Amino acid sequence: MTEFEILIQQTGWSVPEAAKVLGYSEGHVYRWKRGEEVPRDGVINLLRMQIDAHKGAQSEGAFTFIDLFAGIGGLRKAMASAGGRCVFTSEWDSFAQKTYHANFPDNRPIAGDIREVDAAADIPEHDVLVAGFPCQPFSIAGVSKKNALGRLHGFQDETQGTLFFDVLRILMHHRPAAFLLENVKNLKSHDKGRTFDVIRRKLTEELGYTLHTRIIDAANFVPQHRERIVMVGFRENTGFSFDDLVLPGRAGRGMRDVLHPEDGTETPESHFTVGREARVSDKYTLSDKLWQYLQGYAAKHKAAGNGFGFGLVDGDSISRTLSARYYKDGSEILVSRGAGNNPRRLTPRECARLMGYDDSFRIPVSDTQAYKQFGNSVAVPVFAEVARLMRPHILALTEGPGLRKVG
């Protein structure tokens, strides 16, 4: 990767935006990115000034936090909304890193594999550890697949299950005032509760943190059923309680809140919507062959007495859970186009809205990668509310007299 490309990622500019600001053609920018030509020193200096200015604007925060297994930054957005400032990020997927850089241009280089991160040398002091550690070993779908393949799962899975212990390793070294962890609902019941019991004992009995858990459905904030377990811990007892959580509820909520209106009231966006009315591109409509297959598949399983099949939504619906497999056929959330018409997939922008990202959130990757990223992300408003609830308790430990780091 060229120096120019790294700097462009850190500014968050697209090629057209960079060309406009720098005063050069898009062709020049593309050639600089590919390393075919070297930009003038003035261009590089301008980029560095832009990045430094953004860093300065973001340098203050009520508390600091680190973002582990960061994905595209959903938990970071939530913590920032409560006044937090991110001081370290770890995410191994290069495509997720690209999206993260595009939306957080002030961010320093992202650390890759957390197993290769030295807690002492690489991670700065921080007030809160934030981590959405990998879902796959604990999810219902993941466990079923691994059972079918005769593979180990959960804490027995050497590829992902032990990554939780990297969270413990960092907590043990830095002893931050608090942590916020997120995982799939099934974590609590996995292996008859034994997996969660290991997590609980490690965090409380071995590290001495308080632990508060709550399963929250994102449908209280966005038109999507998405239940996740939220784990909040503090170095000392602060009186935190999930009973103080404010859930807006589902009344009046529906997919109309996220679907493109297709009536000209929205500005067309890239290849998602086209024309003066910003209609959804035809490429998102299911082919006759795929639609016939999905209907046949649903009918077969309905006859067998199980619930497998597609999920059809309209403006009044609350959708099923958006998953990382959405790119395959979109079957869990299909938008009705009316009787006699094939339904369509959500666009990546609609997926972003469904996860609580506003329209300023940049999507610099392909549709396939975007679907995976939003399917793996968190519902931002859920965790923004959790962060709001945590804030006074974090400040009590970081600003209060006598409440300092121990151990």
Q: Per residue in 213-265, pLDDT tens?
A: 999 999 999 999 999 999 999 999 999 999 999 998 888 899 999 999 999 99
Structural domains in the chain, CATH included, are: 3-53 (1.10.260), 61-249+379-399 (3.40.50.150), 255-375 (3.90.120.10)
pLDDT of residue 107: 59
What is the DSSP-derived secondary structure letter of residue 189? T
Mean pLDDT of the chain: 86
Between the alpha carbon of residue 316 and those of residues 14, 319, 323, 335, 365, the distances in Å are 35, 10, 21, 11, 30
- Mean pLDDT of all residues in 135-149: 50
Q: Which of 319, 398, 310, 305 is nearest to 355 (CA)?
A: 319
The rounded distance, in Å, linking the Cα atoms of 348 and 374 is 8
| pLDDT above 80: residue 267 | yes
pLDDT tens per residue across span 296-313 = 988 887 777 776 678 999
In this prediction, residue 148 carries a pLDDT of: 56
Q: Does residue 14 carry a pLDDT above 90?
A: no
Of these ranges, 84-88, 106-110, 190-194, the one predicted with the greatest mean pLDDT is: 84-88
Q: What percent of the chain has pLDDT over 70?
A: 87
Residues with a known catalytic role? 135
Identify the band that residue 87 occupies on the pLDDT scale cut at 50, 70 and 90.
Answer: very high
The HSE-up count of residue 120 (CA atoms within 13 Å, CB side) is 1
